């Protein structure tokens, strides 16, 4: 299945590249297109995350009240979620559905297609090359600072994306692990793959802010009874 999705994404990427004539820009456009198409799933995930965040104070009270009775705490937690119609699995299911697309994109961008040489460069960065490579047993680092900037952005945007998505404090360690992990692997990833990950993170953060944007209070609200 991953192979079939990869082939479809490759065809779309090549079609976009015929218009842009730039592999880096084509990756950014394809990433945005995927985000638009998967928006209904993403919105369900974000709505679930938002609902869990709003319930955190109540969940904390339950944990403190029944810390000596875990079974009762679980019952009260389930009752609270049932009352507010919150299903924790709804935050995971859309993500699981999107994972095949994510893996297919990784496989696609690890092996760039055969295109004209000049189309692979964006701001002087060759999308086929990684910040660090091994040539004849010798480690070679790219001199263009743009490669370093992409890698740093990979770690920074991963941190922000995790910061907005994590609702359970017990998972806060992911705020450290995930950014460091992607910072590390991005050093050896082709720049095209890194720019995909950065773009994907930025769009994810933007969608999160859109869903969680607080509605403006109507004029005069809060003045009643004064």
Q: pLDDT tens digits, residue range 42-53?
A: 777 777 777 777
Q: Is the dihedral angle over the CA atoms 13, 18, 23, 26 positive or is it negative?
A: negative
Selection from 146, 103, 130 nearest residue 192 by Cα: 130
Q: Is 109 exposed, middle or buried (0-12, 13-18, 19+ CB in 10 A)?
A: buried
* 170 vs 152, residue with greater confidence: 152
**What is the per-residue pLDDT for 88?**
63
User: Buried b / exposed e across 54-75, counting CB within 10 Å, b at 16+?
Assistant: ebeeebeebeeebeeeeeebee
Burial class of residue 205, CB neighbours in 10 A (0-12, 13-18, 19+): middle
Read off the pLDDT of each residue in 206-214 and give the average, rounded to a whole number: 78
Q: Is residue 97 scored above 80 in pLDDT?
A: no
Asked if pLDDT for residue 7 goes beyond 60, the answer is yes
* The residue count for the chain: 226
Q: How far is 38 from 42, CA to CA, in rounded Å?
A: 6
pTM above 0.85, yes or no: no
- % of the chain with per-residue pLDDT over 90: 41
Q: What is the pLDDT of residues 159-170, one digit of tens each?
A: 998 887 776 666
pLDDT band at 92 (very low <50, low <70, confident <90, very high): low
Residue 74 is predicted with a pLDDT of 81
Kindly tell me if the per-residue pLDDT of 118 is higher than 80.
yes
Domain ranges of the chain: 2-54+89-211
Average pLDDT over residues 54-67: 81
Instruction: Identify the CA nearest to 109 among candidates 127, 126, 132.
Output: 127
Terminal-residue alpha carbon distance, the chain: 63
CB 56 within 8 A of CB 167: yes
Confidence of residue 225 (pLDDT cuts 50, 70, 90): very low
Residue spans of alpha helices (H) in 84-144: 93-110
67-71, 154-158, 209-213 — most confident range: 154-158
């Amino acid at each position: 299945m991953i192979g079939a999705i990869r082939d479809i994404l490759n065809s779309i990427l090549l079609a976009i590249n015929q218009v842009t004539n730039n592999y880096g820009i084509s990756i950014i456009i394809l990433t945005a297109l995927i985000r638009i198409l998967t928006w209904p799933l993403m919105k369900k995930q974000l709505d679930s995350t938002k609902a869990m965040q709003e319930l955190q104070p109540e969940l904390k009270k339950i944990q403190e009240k029944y810390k000596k009775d875990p079974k009762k705490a679980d019952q009260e937690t389930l009752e609270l979620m049932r009352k507010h119609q919150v299903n924790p699995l709804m935050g995971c299911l859309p993500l699981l559905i999107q994972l095949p697309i994510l893996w297919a994109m990784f496989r696609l961008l690890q092996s760039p297609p055969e295109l004209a040489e000049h189309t692979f460069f964006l701001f002087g960065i060759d999308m086929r090359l990684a910040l660090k490579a091994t040539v004849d047993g010798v480690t070679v680092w790219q001199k263009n600072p743009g490669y370093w900037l992409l890698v740093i952005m990979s770690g920074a945007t991963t941190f922000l994306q995790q910061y907005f998505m994590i609702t359970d404090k017990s998972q806060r360690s992911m705020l450290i692990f995930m950014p460091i992990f992607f910072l590390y692997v991005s050093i050896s990833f082709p720049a095209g793959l890194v720019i995909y990950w950065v773009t994907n993170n930025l769009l994810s953060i933007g969608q999160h802010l859109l869903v969680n944007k607080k509605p403006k209070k109507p004029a005069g609200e809060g003045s009643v009874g004064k």
